[in-house]
Amino acid sequence: MEQLNGRQHEIVALARSVGRVVVEDLAARFSVTPQTIRKDLNELCERRMLSRVHGGATIASGVENVGYDARRFIAQDEKRAIGEAAARIIPNGSSLFINIGTTTEEVARALGRHEELLVITNNLNVATLLYRHPGVDVIVAGGPVRRSDAGIVGGPAVDFIKQFKVDYAVIGVSAIDEEGALLDYDYREVMVSQAIMENAREIVLVADRSKLARSAPIRVGRLSQVDTFVTDRIDSEELAELCRRHEVRVVETGLRDEVQSEAAQ
């Protein structure tokens, strides 16, 4: 397969930055026809660097080192459905941790209708989504704020989290391997996530199935530590068997199949 041309490199870089690119905008940006851009996007999709959507393309779910804002566009509808399903698990009057991630933010978004919640988070985006709701009290962990995603990571956040013992931990991860390892990229973030898991009575993992196509170098924990796994679908029979063996409750939203079915009509 031929090497990417300069325009295609720029298209991928733009998609990594903002998440989604639009045919008409790209045609104007590069002073070429929409047909030329569509050909570029089709080639990039064949290389699995982008995924086609109506009117343009999004960054592919398996691409690593994607900007945080761009990750919001990956499996966006699936994440929203996962967030709503996870929020239904959390009863009113609960205390919970929510860690860093675009999927955990969708859980926070869906929790706004709850009453008498105490939410402790190291994610400033979660705090921003919830602090205005009268039924939710929000406590934010202390420590350095990571500019890339408004996450609070490192030793001070770990020490802060360890002061609490809550009902639920809602956690997201960057990858899940076939052996059930929960994986992430930043060791400082992993330390906080581990403290969150250790200090909750029930752990709810939220991750769409694109996380099964990725890898990351640092282990957060194991699937066997999780009580409930909320996802769009588990394609891997090995992973499904692992959940059964360790009595992990699996909640599948199935939204991706519905979206594909509608697109085919």
For 6-71, CATH number? 1.10.10.10
What single-letter amino acid sits at 159?
Answer: D
**Radius of gyration of the CA atoms of the chain, in A:** 19
Quote the mean pLDDT of the chain.
88
Helix/strand/coil percentages in the chain, nearest 5: 45, 25, 30
Fold of 76-260: Rossmann fold (3.40.50)
Domain boundaries, the chain: 6-71, 76-260
* Section 78-88 average pLDDT: 96
**Stretch 183-201: mean pLDDT:** 95
Per-residue pLDDT band for 1 (boundaries 50, 70, 90) equals low
Percent of the chain residues topping a pLDDT of 90? 67
- For the segment 233-249, what is each residue's pLDDT rounded down to a tens digit? 998 899 999 999 999 99
Task: Write down the pLDDT at residue 84.
Answer: 97
Per-residue pLDDT, 98: 98
Spell out the alpha helix ranges (H) of 47-122.
Answer: 68-71, 76-89, 102-110
pLDDT band at 206 (very low <50, low <70, confident <90, very high): very high
Mean pLDDT over 143-153 rounds to 90
Please report the pLDDT score of residue 256 as a whole number.
44
Query: What is d(CA 151, CA 245) in angstroms, rounded to the nearest whole number?
Result: 34
- H or E element at residue 25: helix 23-30
Residues 6+ apart with CB under 8 A from 61: 51, 74, 75, 208, 210, 213, 214
pLDDT in tens, 112-127: 999 999 999 999 999 9
